[in-house]
Structure formats: structure tokens, C-alpha cells
Chains A and B, each alone.
Chain A
Amino acid sequence: MTGALVIAILVLGVGVIAVRRRSVAIALVAAQSLALGVGALQLAEGRSGDYLVAAFVLVAKAIVLPALLLLLIRRTPERGPVAAAAGPLVRLAGGCGLVLAAIALVPPLGLGDARPERASVALLLVGIAIVVARRPAFFQLLGLIVAENGLSLLAVSVPGGLSYVIELGALFDLVLVVSVAAAFAQRIHLELGTGDTELLRGLRD
């Protein structure tokens, strides 16, 4: 996978932590998933047929998940933006900080190419940061997908690729988890009139 594509995948993920509009965030995640699929197809030459299946699975992910997410935002209209604990620039700075930390601290994972190794760990951290930093359930759901895309980046870079059984299974699980999370987001919206999970803080000891 080319360095430019890896950087593009990383930048698109970091963008999700900063943007306000849900439709823009979906576009970023869709573009990231598509870039990942294209990158996997680039690597398919000379690899097994199984790997080609896995690459097509990633391309399918770029279509299926955004469609599900678009359906969700149509069903959960927000009256206004949900107030954030930190502004977009602060969030963006935090995301960039995580990327730099990953670049500096990630030990070699055995691929022999540090770019996808560091980028995938950085995306996993950015995904976790999105869940922590964004209050709307919808954005927390996007955080899960960004983290998952980080894993896919590492998986497609494995020499020979991960088995298509795992890729298909992971896609099935991801669609299942995203569907359940979307059902939750819809129910939370129905219960609270907003997707702001900060209002769900009743359980304390």
C-alpha cells in the first residue's frame, strides 16, 4: 500500500474527531473505508484468491456501513449540535497528539514496514479517543468503526493477508454490532430527545 494512501486513511480517521456535522463524518468514514478497500485491491496482485475476496469485503464495508449510518441520521434528527466538552480544534490537536505518540512509541509488530503498523495503532487510539471525546451516541459509534478500520489496515498488510473467513466474519460482526448500536442510538434519541450520552449518567456507586 502506498504511503500516500496510508496517510490519507489516517487523516480521514482523525477528521472524524473534529467535524461537527454527522453527514460530513459519515463521508469521512466512507472515504476511509473505500481507501482501505482500494489499498487492499492494490496489494491483491500475486496473492491468493482468498485475499481478493477479503479486499472485496472491505470495499463492501465502505458501502454497507455508510448506508446504515445515513439511515440512522434520517431517523434521529437533532434540533441543534450537541454541546461538546472541548472545541473542534482542541479535539483535533488531541487526535494529532495521539497519532504522533503512536508514531513515536509503537514497537515493531513484525510487518517490516513501519507505516501501516504505526498508522493502524494510531487509528485504534483515535477510535478510542472519539468514543471518549464525543458525547453523541452517533459519533461514539463512528469511533468504533474508525478503530475497526485501523485493524483492517493492519490485517490487509499481513503477508498473504488474513483469511477471508476472518475478514467475512469480522464484517458480519461489525455490521451486527453497528446495527445493534444504531438501534441503541435510535432508542436513546427517542428516550432523551437527543443522542447526547452525557445525559445517561444515572448509574453510580
Chain B
Amino acid sequence: MTELVPTLAWVVPALPCFAALLVLMARTPRQADRISAACAPVVAAAALALAGIALGRGGAAPLRGTWYLVDGASGVFVAVIAVVGCASALVSREYLRHAGRSWMRAARSRVWYYAALYAFWAALLAVPIVGNLGLTWLLVEATTATSALLVAFSGRRDALEAGWKYLVLTTLGLSVALMGIVVLAIAQAGSGHDGIHALDWHALERDAARLPHEATLVAFVLILGGMATKIGWAPVHNWLPDAHSEAPAPVSALLSAALLPTVLLVAWRVKATLDVAVGGGTAGALFIAFGLASIIVAVPFLWRSLPWKRLLAYSSLEHMGVLALGIGIGHPLAIAGVVLHVAGHALAKSLGFYAAVRLVRLDPAAAEHAATGVAARSPTTALAMGVSLVALAGLPPSPLFVSELLIVLGAVAAGQTAVAVVAVVALALGFLGLLHALLESVLSEPGKPRRRTPSPRSERPTAVLTGVLGGGLLALCAAAALLPGSDLVAALARGAL
């Protein structure tokens, strides 16, 4: 099967680009819906085939070409982006049917929405496959341009503010990261390697021991600090709650469940390649600092009565912190936790955002205020929100319970007991905050008189999504037992590229 990899490495990002062009040719909004519904499963199938091949090789050496690198991490992230991207494209139809006003002309707004969504998806799918740091940066920057338009899609004043803030802050952050990449290129040129391939992941890993410590440290700090803005780590997370809450819900799902972890993969690869030159302790400590800061900053907001999507946005801040912590600790147990957390968070968070499509339709005030009494209004929507919140809180049998446990155990095994204690306390507070939100939003009495009960037929898509994504969460929990000690985790913990 590995002989398919060179083809799939091109086909996987090319397919959504092709889909974007096809959608642009649609003459009516309904035609755009149909094209998207036909293209999304094809893109996802190709991406999952690539992910399957990568994961099937376990901890074997990565497959490399001139422009691509496919390893176990590529497999995990491509699978996540494929699933969330496909679900977002399919759920978008339901969102767009009731979206109301848009930034763009009414007749073409749906076409432009899908075109931007597929372009965004294409850039996201390419990031874990590209084998070069410079090209990866270009793709991450491209995700900003395409997704900023989607964030402000409604054209409302708040959406414009969120989109503008996202565009400006993340572009500045990525400029800082690019400066780090240029400093790294200077260091590589100093040791006799120049041109585009001096920034290949494997070239950086190969040459790391010869790179000057001080310049590489400066480069690493600039890259990590710049990428932190895009990942949404505290204290440079200001855009995150606004963009996630104002974007169309299917786009919020892609931002939270796919974009943030994918950029985090870039930071992880930078750490893996430059560990030797920077000093493993320093690189890990920076990740741990960002991780703890993000979890601690998120917790007070998880206790507040926030609109549903805003609450999920702060939960993203917390979970990106958990991932940073796991990568920073670097122990194989923590890395197993990171792999599981990426997948579990993606399923739980996207289910939460998809439930928001239905929630806002049932109760438009829920877009601006904390929802109340959802179970009394729509048991299916309440079930979707409940499954999402319980999983995100880390209540067993959520895979996020197992992943957080693995990360904490990894911290203890790595001798980082103080970090483990702080993380456990903060995560416990976050857990209680999300359970509080579950009681207040989902299970409480409705604040207003009950509106007309939705028909069972209109509830069916939400029920199907809850079944599929909830089943996926349970399957992940079962698969968690296989991860610690696996070849895949051992290779990722070694930082092999």
C-alpha cells in the first residue's frame, strides 16, 4: 500500500481544491449544496486512505518525497481533519438553509461559503503531509486568509470584529514565526545548507546537532511564540473566543477541532527537530508553560454563564493547553495521551458545535446568551450537547478522561510532579465548570414559555450525528488501551521524522 503514498500525498490536498472550483461553477445555492454533499465524502475517503496507510505502518520510518513527509503523526492529524472537514461540509447545508443575512450577495453567498470552506480544508489537509517548514508556514498562513472570510460570513458587526481580530492577530503572530524560520535558514546557511530543502523537517533534524545553540534558541522561541497566536495558547489567545463564537458553527468546528491542533503539530515538529540544538529541557519547559497558562486562564471562563459556542471556545483554550502539556512532558505515556486527546477532542468539540446549529434555530437568543432548558425543548439537541460536554469535561468513559490521565501519569513518570499537581487541580476545576454548564444549560427548566416542539423528522440529522460521533468517542476509549507502549507512540516520543 505504501506505493500509493506519493500519489495520495498530492491527491489529498488537490481534491478539496478541485471541489472548491466545482462549487464555484454552481448556478444555484441548491446546486452548490449538492456538489458539496458529493465531494465531501470523496475527499474524506482519500484522506482516510492516506491516514490508514500511515497509521498501519506504526512506528516505521516516515515515508519521504521531495515535498512530502508521511509519518504516524501525519496519519493521526489527516484522519482528524478528514472526519471533521467532511462532517462540517455536510452540516453546512443545514446551517446555510437558516443562516439569514450574509456578508456576500445573497445569490452567491452559499457558493462562496463552500469555496472558502473547501480551500480552508485543502490547506489544513496539506499541513501534516508537507515535509518542509517553510512550505508548512505558507499553508498555515493560507488557512488564515480563507478562514477569516468564513468567520465573518454573517456580516454582522460582531462577526466583522471577530474576523478582523483573527486576521490581524494571527497574521502578526505568523510574521513573528516566519522571522524565526528565517533565523533558522540563516543558521542552516552558516553550516553550508541553503535553498528550500535546508528547511525540510528531516534536514533540520539531521543538522540540528551542528546548528549554533544561541541562534537556534532565538529561532525556536520566535517560531513557538508566533505559532502560539494561531494555536490560541494563553496569553495570546484573544482572537479565539471571538472567532469561535461568531463563525458559522460548522466553521467553528473546523477551527477548533482541526485548525488549532494542526498548527500545534507544526510546533510539535519544530520541537522534535530542534530539541538537540535548543536543549530538550528548554523546549519542553516552554510547551509546559504555555500549557499550564492556557488551562489556568480557561478555567474561570468555564464557570461563567456564557453563550454555548463561547463556552466551547474557552474549552478549546483549555484543551490546547492539555496538548501542549503532554508534548512538553514528552514521556511516552504523555505522548499516548496527546494522540488520544487530539482525536477525542476533535469528535467531542465538533459534536458540540454541530449541536449549536440546531440550538440557535430552536432558541435564537442562545447565540448571545447562555442557553437554558434545552432538554425540555429538544431532547435530541440536549443529548448532543450533553455528550459533547461530558466528553470535553473528561467524565469516564470519555477518551479525554483516559488521555488526561495518561498525560498526568506521564508527568509523574518524567519527574514533573509539581506540573502534574497543578494540572490536576486546574483540570478538576475545569471539569466542575463544564458540569455546572451542563446542569445550567441543558438540564435546567426553560426560562421562557416552551415553543412548539420540533418534529422528530427535523431532529433526525442531529440524532444521527450524535450517534456517529458518540460511537466514535466510545471506540476511541476502547482503542486507548492499545496506545501506551505501541510502536507509533514510541516513534512519536522519540521525535523521529
Interfacial residues, chain A to chain B (CB-CB below 8 A):
50, 107-111, 120-121, 124, 127-128, 131, 137, 140, 143-144, 147-148, 150-151, 154-155, 158-163, 165-166, 169-170, 172-173, 176-177, 179-181, 183-184, 187-188, 191-192, 197, 200-203, 205
Q: List 19 A-B contacts (CB under 8 A).
A: A109-B218, A120-B179, A144-B175, A147-B175, A151-B175, A154-B182, A155-B182, A158-B186, A163-B134, A165-B134, A166-B135, A169-B134, A170-B138, A170-B178, A177-B167, A181-B167, A192-B157, A202-B158, A203-B162
Residue of A nearest to B242 (CB): A203
User: At the interface, yes or no: B469 with Cβ under 8 Å from chain A?
Assistant: no
Complex: how many Å from CA A165 to CA B306?
A: 45
Q: Is the CB of B160 within 8 A of A158?
A: no
In contact, B168 and A131 (Cβ under 8 angstroms): yes
| Closest 4 pairs (CB-CB, A-B) | A163-B196, A160-B194, A200-B161, A169-B138
Binds A, one of B143-151, B355-363, B374-382: B143-151
Residues of chain A with a CB closer than 8 A to B246's CB:
203
In the bound complex, CA of A128 to CA of B170 (Å): 12
In the complex, besides A137-B164, A205-B304, 16 extra interface pairs with C-beta distance below 8 angstroms are A109-B186, A144-B172, A150-B175, A154-B182, A155-B182, A158-B189, A159-B186, A166-B135, A170-B141, A180-B145, A181-B167, A181-B168, A183-B149, A200-B157, A201-B161, A203-B241
Q: How far is the CA of A109 from the CA of B183 in the complex (A)?
A: 6
Contacts of B155 in A (CB 8 A): 187, 191
Could you tell me the distance between the alpha carbons of A129 and B178 in the complex, rounded to whole angstroms? Answer: 18
Q: Which residues of A contact B158 (CB under 8 A)?
A: 202-203
Q: How far is the CB of A165 from chain B (nearest CB, A)?
A: 5
Q: Given the complex, which residues of A lie within 8 Å of B301, measured CB to CB?
A: 205
* Contact yes or no, A147 B172, CB < 8 A: yes
B212 pairs with A177, CB closer than 8 A = no
Question: How many angstroms between the C-alpha atoms of A169 and B140 in the bound complex?
Answer: 12
Instruction: Select B168's contact among A140, A150, A173, beta carbons within 8 Å.
Output: A140
Chain A residues closer than 8 Å to B167, beta-carbon distance: 177, 180-181, 184
| 0/1 string, B320-346, CB within 8 A of A gives 1 | 000000000000000000000000000
CB distance from B303 to the nearest CB of A (A): 12
Interfacial chain A residues near B194, Cβ < 8 Å: 158-161
Among A158, A160, A184, A202, which residue has its beta carbon within 8 angstroms of that of B163?
Answer: A184
Instruction: Return the chain A residue nearest B212 by Cβ.
Output: A110
Asked whether A107 lies within 8 Å of B168 as measured between CB atoms, the reply is no
A187 engages B196 (CB within 8 Å): no
Contacts of A161 on B, CB cut-off 8 Å? 194
Q: How many Å lie between the Cα of A140 and that of B145 in the bound state?
A: 16
B449: Cβ under 8 A from any A Cβ? no
Residue of chain A at shortest CB distance from B246: A203
What residues on A are CB-neighbors of B162 within 8 Å?
203
**Does chain A have a CB within 8 A of B171?**
yes
Does B142 touch A at the CB level, under 8 Å?
yes
B160 and A200 contact, CB distance less than 8 A: yes
Q: A160: which B residues are within 8 A, CB to CB?
A: 189, 194-195
Question: Could you say which of A161, A191, A205 has the most chain B C-beta atoms within 10 Å of its C-beta?
Answer: A205
Complex: how many Å from CA A161 to CA B354?
46
Q: Across the interface, do A127 and B164 meet the contact criterion of CB distance under 8 Å?
A: no
B310 within 8 Å of A (CB atoms) = yes
Which residues on B sit within 8 Å (CB–CB) of A165? Answer: 134-135, 196
Of B103, B179, B241, chain A has the most CB atoms within 10 Å of the CB of B179
Shortest CB-to-CB span from A47 to chain B, Å, is: 10
B50: interface (CB < 8 Å):
no
Contact between B186 and A166, CB atoms less than 8 A apart? no
A181 and B152 alpha carbons, distance in the complex (Å): 12
Chain B 179-206, CB-CB to A under 8 Å as 1, else 0, gives 1001101110110001110010000000
A143 vs B194: C-alpha distance when bound (angstroms) = 30
Asked if B215 is an interface residue, CB under 8 A from chain A, the answer is: yes
Does B214 have its Cβ within 8 Å of any Cβ on chain A? yes
Nearest B residue to A177, CB-CB:
B145
Contact call A184/B171, Cβ cutoff below 8 A:
no
Interface membership of chain B positions 453-492, coded 1 if the CB is closer than 8 angstroms to chain A and 0 otherwise:
0000000000000000000000000000000000000000
B171/A144 in contact, CB under 8 A: yes
Indicate whether B5 reaches chain A with its CB closer than 8 angstroms: no
CB of B178 within 8 A of CB of A159, answer no
Chain A residues with CB under 8 Å of B160's CB are 184, 187-188, 191, 200
CA distance A200 to B196 in the complex (A): 41
Neighbour of A109 across the interface among B152, B171, B178, B215, CB < 8 A: B215
Is residue B259 contacting chain A, with contact meaning CB distance below 8 A?
A: no
Q: Which residue of B lies closest to A153 (CB)?
A: B182
Bound complex: CA A160 to CA B195 (Å)? 8
Query: What residue in chain B is nearest A50 (Cβ atoms)?
Result: B195
- Write the nearest CB–CB distance from A60 to chain B, whole angstroms: 17
State which of B134, B135, B241 has its C-beta within 8 Å of the C-beta of A205: B241
Contacts of A154 in B (CB 8 A): 179, 182-183, 186
* A191 CA / B155 CA spacing, docked (Å): 9
Chain A, Cβ-Cβ closest to B167 = A181
Decide: A124 near B182, CB < 8 A? Known: A137-B164, A191-B160, A203-B161.
no
- Please state if B152 and A158 are interface contacts (CB–CB under 8 Å): no
Within the complex, the shortest CB–CB distance from B320 to chain A, in Å, comes to 18
Known: A160-B195, A187-B155, A205-B241. A148 touches B142 (CB 8 A): no
